[in-house]
Structure formats: C-alpha cells, structure tokens
Amino acid sequence: MSIPVIVAIDGPSGTGKSSTSRAVAARLGLSYLDTGAQYRAITWWMLSNGVDVNDPLAIADQAGKPAIVAGTDPAAPAITVDGVDASGPIRTQEVTAAVSAVSAVPEVRTRMVEIQRAAAASAPAGIVVEGRDIGTTVLPDATVKIFLTASPEVRAARRSGELKGAQSVADTQAALIRRDAADSGRTTSPLAKADDAVEVDTSELSLEQVVEQVVALVGEKRAAR
Ligand SMILES: Nc1ncnc2c1ncn2[C@@H]1O[C@H](COP(=O)(O)OP(=O)(O)O)[C@@H](O)[C@H]1O
Ligand SMILES: Nc1ccn([C@H]2C[C@H](O)[C@@H](COP(=O)(O)OP(=O)(O)O)O2)c(=O)n1
C-alpha cells in the first residue's frame, strides 16, 4: 500500500474548489471532503433553531449541539445534520448570507476542524479536502497544497450561472466580495494562502485544465517521496 496522499485545496468562493476537488479525488481514487458544506450545515442548524447569528456568544453556546456528518465519496457528496439530509437547505441565500458570521466563531471552528482531521486520518488511500484554511490550519502537513484564485467578475459569472437568475451578476459579485472580506479578516484561521501552496488562477482555464494541473502536482510529489 502506498502512503495516503492529502491534497488541500483552498481559495475564495467561485474559484472552482468543489468541482476541481471532486474531479481530482475521482480521478485518483481518493476520498473528498467539502468543509464549506460543514460550515453551511451548522449555520443552517443555527438559523433553524432561532439562534441569533449575529451573537457570537449564543453561537458558541450552541456549537456543540448539532451532529454534522459529511460524506467523503466524490461521486455522491452528502451532508446531514442530526441525521437529516441538508444538501438542499445549505445552499439557500439565507445560509450563504449568515455563514461567514457563524464560521468566524472559534468554538464552531474547533469542532469542525476536529471532524475534518478525523476524516482525513481515516481515508484509506488519501483525501482531497477543500475549504479556506486547510493548508494553513487543518492539514498543515498536506502532501500538496493548492490555492485557487479567479477574478471577481469570473467568479460572479460562474455563481450567478448556478443561481439561474435568482440574483443579478452585480449583486452576486458584491455578496462574494463581502464574504471574501469577512472570511479573510476574521481572527481565527482566516482564508489565506499557505506559504508552501501553489497558486492557480483559474480565470482563463477550463475545469479540465485546472484538474490536470492538480493531478500533475500530486504525481510529482508522489514520485519525489
Ligand atoms: N475552471 C473553470 N472554468 C469554468 N467554470 C468553472 C471552472 N471551475 C468551476 N467552474 C464552475 O464555476 C462554478 C463554481 O465552481 P465551484 O467548484 O462550486 O467553486 P467553489 O467551490 O470555489 O465555490 C460551478 O458552476 C462550476 O461548474
Ligand atoms: N474551511 C472553511 C470552509 C468554509 N468556511 C466558511 C467561509 C465560507 O464563506 C463558507 C462557505 O464555504 P463554501 O466553500 O461552501 O463557499 P462557496 O461554495 O465557495 O460559496 O464557509 C470556512 O470558514 N472555512
């Protein structure tokens, strides 16, 4: 058996983290973990249970309550909260608007990071983990670290394509920029590129080209060890 490979993929919203991570994991036979889905899931629980998402003390107090379980099959990403499928509700604009505030609370992060490290440690062949602080904080010893970027215009166009006109491209771009600022500016493990991460600007690349680059980097690291 070869040593498990750990791939950390970080970056702001709409840069292609989820699509790239799933495709790389599927191609290399690795597990896959979407940590953003976990932060969205705990945010959904807070909103559903009447917790004031602008009150960090209230969030901290409740952070230990919901059971968040994320699947690790790249072919069928799954997320449940207290056993209930949360894959639809975590993508609503209400959750998107509240997730940065909830995920800035240290007690929330401590819990999520524990679950994320356990998933990485138990993946038989290795795992691709995507998020904001994977290379810096969650898995600082990852085999390969990637930091994806793209221009705000490209990211907003990609996101509004998914929202199917529910929000204008200009509003989507403004919301992305607000979330970037909140995620990069928080005190506990902000969105940041690790010093040893490879930065890939995906603005002008197809998904296939990004996947190829990441797969090639993993191959190089494997060959070197
Ligand atoms: N390199 C790319 N070129 C064009 N579209 C892309 C590319 N990467 C991702 N996408 C599309 O952009 C949208 C956002 O991608 P996603 O992987 O969800 O980004 P993130 O996880 O960083 O928010 C999706 O609709 C996806 O299909
Ligand atoms: N490792 C992570 C992953 C996500 N988060 C927070 C910050 C992000 O704005 C939200 C949502 O992340 P998600 O990856 O689902 O966001 P997008 O799909 O890129 O819009 O969660 C985090 O704080 N740390």
pLDDT digits (tens, 9 = 90+) for 114-128: 999 999 999 999 999
Ligand nearest to the Cα of 96, by number = 2
- In this prediction, what percent of the chain has a pLDDT beyond 90? 92
The residue nearest atom 2 of ligand 1, judged by CA position, is 207
pLDDT tens figures, 74-114:
999 999 999 999 999 999 999 999 999 999 999 999 999 99
For residue 224, being part of any structural domain is answered with no
pLDDT tens figures, 208-217:
999 999 999 9
For residue 222, being part of any structural domain is answered with no
Cα 89 to ligand 1 centroid, rounded to whole Å: 20
Cα 29 to ligand 1 centroid, rounded to whole Å: 21
Predicted pLDDT of residue 72 = 98
How far CA 108 is from CA of 17, 48, 68, 104, 208, in Å, comes to 22, 16, 11, 8, 34
The residue nearest atom 13 of ligand 2, judged by CA position, is 36
Ligand nearest to the Cα of 202, by number = 1
Q: Which residue has the higher pLDDT, 203 or 2?
A: 203
Predicted pLDDT of residue 62 = 98
Tell me what the mean pLDDT of segment 32-39 comes to. 98
Probe residue for ligand 1, chosen from 158, 159, 205, 207 as the CB with the greatest number of ligand atoms within 8 Å: 158
* CATH number of the structural domain spanning residue 39: 3.40.50.300
Q: Which residue has the higher pLDDT, 210 or 162?
A: 210
The residue nearest atom 1 of ligand 2, judged by CA position, is 131
Predicted pLDDT of residue 117 = 98
For residue 73, being part of any structural domain is answered with yes
Burial pattern 42-63, b for ≥16 Cβ within 10 A else e, equals: bbbbbbeeebebeebeebeebb
Residues with Cβ < 8 Å from 63, sequence gap 6 or more? 42, 105, 107, 108, 111
195, 176, 216, 188: which is closest to 59 by C-alpha? 188
ipTM: 0.98
Asked whether 145 lines ligand 1 (CB < 6 A), one says no
Predicted pLDDT of residue 32 = 98
For residue 192, being part of any structural domain is answered with yes
Predicted pLDDT of residue 161 = 76
How far CA 143 is from CA of 7, 178, 225, in Å, comes to 6, 31, 10
For residue 225, being part of any structural domain is answered with no
For residue 48, being part of any structural domain is answered with yes
pLDDT surpasses 80 at 41: yes
- What is the span of the domain harbouring residue 30? 5-217
Q: Which residues are annotated as a binding site for ATP?
A: 11-19
In which band, very low, low, confident or very high, does the pLDDT at 1 lie, cut at 50, 70 and 90?
Answer: low
pLDDT surpasses 70 at 165: no
Cα 225 to ligand 2 centroid, rounded to whole Å: 32
Phi-psi region of 164 (alpha: psi -120 to 50; beta: other; left: phi over 0): left
For residue 223, being part of any structural domain is answered with no
Q: Which pairs from 181-184 meet CB under 8 Å and 24+ separation?
A: 182/100, 182/101, 182/104, 183/12, 183/100, 183/103, 183/132
Angstrom distance (rounded) from CA 126 to CA 163: 32
The residue nearest atom 22 of ligand 2, judged by CA position, is 132
For residue 42, being part of any structural domain is answered with yes
Tell me what the mean pLDDT of segment 7-17 comes to. 98
Predicted pLDDT of residue 114 = 98
Q: Count of domains in the chain? A: 1
